[in-house]
Structure 1
Amino acid sequence: MSDDIHIRKEGRAGRITLTRPKALNAMSYDMCTAIEAALDGWRDDPEVALVLIDAEGDKAFCAGGDIQQLYDTGRAGDFAYGRRFWADEYRLNAKIARYPKPYVALMQGFVMGGGVGISCHGSHRVVCDSTQVAMPECGIGLVPDVGGSLLLARAPGRSGEYLGVTGTRMGPDDAIYCGFADSYIPKLKWNEMRAALVESGDPGVIDGYAETPPEGDLRAQQGEIDAHFGGEGLHDILNSLRASDSDFANGALKAIGRGSPLSMACAVEMIHRLRGPGADIGRALDLEYRFTYRAMETGDFLEGIRAAIIDRDRNPQWKHGLDVLPGYAVSQMLMPLGPDALTLEEERP
C-alpha cells in the first residue's frame, strides 16, 4: 500500500486516512485506486458497519488532485493518461455517492477539488472551524468536477453558479447551507467522536457531538447572488455584475477575472443542465467527463496549470477573452463523447 494513505479495519469501521499532510493530502492516482479497492472489499464485509475517511494534519483534509503527472503527460501530447485518471476518479466518486453503507468524512482545513469528490458525496459529512470547502477548478482551466457540479446545482438559489465561477471558499456554516456538509463539530471533539464511531459502527453518534456553527456569509448574500447569477449564461452574469457598484459585485467580478472564460461558461451551462429532479451523480459525472476528456487538447487546462503551478506567473493566456467567447465553444466542450463516453460500472483492467 502507498505511504500516502493508510487503509485498515478498526472496530466496526473500515478506516481510510490520507497521510501526506505536507502535500495537503493531495489525491494521487494510487490513492484513488486504493480507496476504490477498499470500498469494493468492504461493501459486503459484515465486520464493516461504516466507512470513516479522515486525514492527517491541520491544514487540509484534501486540497485537490495531484496534477503534476497530468500536466507532464499532457504537455508531452499524451492525453490518454489524464482521460484514464479522470474516468477512474469519477467512478470512485459515483461509488461513494451510491455506497450502501454509511460513509463518514471528517473534513478539516482545505477541502477542494478531488477532496470534495471523496468526502462531500458521503452520507455523513463533518466540518470544523478550520474547514474551507471550494471548487476552484475554473481558475486552472477545468470545471467543477468529481461530481461537484451536481452539488452546485442543488445549492440554494443561484449559489451554485456563484461558487462555481468564482471558486469562493465556504466555511463550515456555508458548506452546510450549500449542501456540501451536514454537521459542525469542533475539532477538539473529533478524537472522542471517532472512537465512538469505530466502537459502535453507528453514525448516529455524530448527532451527540454536533453544534451550531459560527454564521457564514452566504445566507446574507443570497439575495445578491440570485439577482446577479440568475442569467442564462456567463455573459448575462457579467452584465449584471458590471451594472452594480456593490462590494459583492466588485468582488465577484475580480474573482471571475482570474478564471478561464471557457471553463466558467461551461460550468454555468453544466449547472443549469443539472438543476432539477432528473439529475443524478451519473449524469453529472458524464457531463464533467465530456469537458475533462477535451480539457488538455482543446481547453485551457495545460495553460492554467502552467500559470498557477509550474511557472507561477499568475498570468494565464486563455484561449478566449471574457467578452469574445463564442457560443459554439461551450457546445463543443460539452458534446457527447459517443464510444468514449464515461462508463461508471466497468471494472478496472
Structure 2
Amino acid sequence: MSEEIEIKILGHAGRITLRRPEALNALSYAMCLAIEAALDAWANDDRVALIVIDAEGDRAFCAGGDIAQMYEAGMRGDYAFGHRFWFDEYRMNAKLFHFPKPVVSLMQGYTMGGGVGIGCHGSHRIVCETSKIALPECGIGLAPDVGSTLLLARAPGRLGEYLGTTGTRMGPGDAIHAQIADYFVPRADWPALIATLCDSGDWEAVDSAALPPPASPLADQQAAVDAFFGGETIRDCVNLLKLSDSDFAQSALAAINAGSPLAVACTLELVHRARLRDTIENALEQEYRFSYRAMEHGDFLEGIRAAIIDKDKSPKWRHASLDDVAAITVAGMLMPLGAAGWNMQAKGYVA
C-alpha cells in the first residue's frame, strides 16, 4: 500500500498523500479502502485536528479511478468487481463529505472523476495555477459520480448541467466560480502551508495563504450557460444550442455530441435529481443506479475500450444520437436497485 498512498499522522494533521504520479495518481480500490479506514480512525482521534490531502507529481492530483481492472473484469462478464468498487468508493466519499474536522485538499494539475470525489468534498479545497478540474465521465460512457452531481447541482445557475454534459475543464478561477474549489494558493507556497497546517493544526492558515483567484472565463459565460442549459431534458438544451451560431453554442454542442448519448441524457437528469434533494446520500444513491448498470446496459466498456485500451477515439455507442435515447430508457437506467442499491448504512456491497 505504501507504494500507492501514504497515510500518517504528522504533527496535528492526518496526512494522506497519493503516490502514483506515473499513473496520474489514479485511485485504486485499495486506495479507496485505505482512505476510508483513515477517516474512521481519525474522526475521534484527538491527535488529529485536521486532514491534509495532497498528491505527488506535477501533472495530476488525481485523474480519476483506476479502471483497467474494472474493464478486464467487465469484459469477462464479471460486473461484481465494478459494483463493489463503486459501492465502497461512494461510502468513502460520503464519509469525507461529513468528516467532523477540517479537510484541506491541494489539487494541482488534473483533478477528474474519482479525484473530484476525494478532493472536492472537503472544507478547504485549494487550487493553484496548474489546476484543471473536470467531470469528463460521459466521454467514457459513465455519468459524473462520487457525489459530484451534488457539487454540480450546487454550482451557480445551470453550470452543473453544462459542466456535467460537456466535461469542460475548469482552471483555478473557473473552479472557484463554480464553487467546486475555495482557495487559490500558488503551488510554490504549498510546502510552507502544509508545514504550518501540520505544526499548528490551525485551518485558518489556509485563509492567510490564499490570494485572489485568477479570472474565470466560465464566469463570463454564465449568462450563455443559463440560457442554453435550463431545459428539462438534454434534447431541450441541444435544440437551443442548434439554433445559435455562437462559438459557445457550437463548442458546447460538439462536446455533448462526443459523449455517450445515454450517459449525457442521464447526467442531466442526475443533476436535476441532486438539486431536488440536496444531500450527498441522495446524490450517491442515484449515481450508483447508473454506475451499477453502466457496464451491462450502458456504454462504459465501449467507452473505456475506445479511450484507454485501443485508443482509437471512435466509440460505437449504443445510441447513434441523443434523439435515439428515449425518456423511458433514461428512467430505466435510474430506477431503484432494491436490495442491491447503495446506502450509507450498508456494511458492504450486496451481490
Do both proteins adopt the same fold according to a TM-score greater than 0.5, normalized to the shorter chain? yes
The aligned runs of 1:1-349 (5 Å cut-off) are: 1-276=1-276, 278-322=277-321, 323-347=323-347
Amino acid of the structure 2 residue aligned with 1:304: G
Provide the C-alpha distance between the structure 2 equivalents of 1:185 and 1:345, rounded to a whole number of angstroms.
Answer: 37
Unaligned 5+ residue runs, structure 2? none
Q: TM-score, normalised by structure 2?
A: 0.98
Q: CA deviation at 1:21?
A: 0.5
Q: CA deviation at 1:2?
A: 3.7
Greater shift, 233-242 or 319-328, is seen at 319-328
CA offsets per residue over residues 123-143 of structure 1, 9 Å max, x none?
110000000000000000000
Contact conserved, 1:307 with 1:314, CA < 8 A, in 2?
Answer: yes
CA offsets per residue over residues 290-318 of structure 1, 9 Å max, x none?
00000001011000001100111111111
Q: CA deviation at 1:274?
A: 1.5
Contact conserved, 1:128 with 1:187, CA < 8 A, in 2?
Answer: yes
Contact conserved, 1:150 with 1:284, CA < 8 A, in 2?
Answer: yes
Provide the C-alpha distance between the structure 2 equivalents of 1:4 and 1:262, rounded to a whole number of angstroms.
Answer: 34
Provide the C-alpha distance between the structure 2 equivalents of 1:226 and 1:321, rounded to a whole number of angstroms.
Answer: 27
SS of 1:335's equivalent? coil
Q: Percent identity?
A: 59
Amino acid of the structure 1 residue aligned with 2:300: F
Q: CA deviation at 1:342?
A: 0.4
Provide the C-alpha distance between the structure 1 equivalents of 2:17 and 2:274, rounded to a whole number of angstroms.
Answer: 32
Contact conserved, 1:2 with 1:31, CA < 8 A, in 2?
Answer: no
Contact conserved, 2:87 with 2:348, CA < 8 A, in 1?
Answer: no
Root-mean-square deviation (Å): 1.0
SS of 1:238's equivalent? helix
Amino acid of the structure 2 residue aligned with 1:293: Y
Amino acid of the structure 2 residue aligned with 1:282: E
Provide the C-alpha distance between the structure 1 equivalents of 2:240 and 2:7, rounded to a whole number of angstroms.
Answer: 49
Amino acid of the structure 1 residue aligned with 2:319: H
Provide the C-alpha distance between the structure 2 equivalents of 1:150 and 1:320, rounded to a whole number of angstroms.
Answer: 27
Count of residues in correspondence between the two structures: 348
Amino acid of the structure 2 residue aligned with 1:292: S
Unaligned 5+ residue runs, structure 1? none
Contact conserved, 2:141 with 2:263, CA < 8 A, in 1?
Answer: yes
CA offsets per residue over residues 313-334 of structure 1, 9 Å max, x none?
1111111122221111100000
CA offsets per residue over residues 182-216 of structure 1, 9 Å max, x none?
10000111111111100111111111111112102
Q: CA deviation at 1:348?
A: 5.0
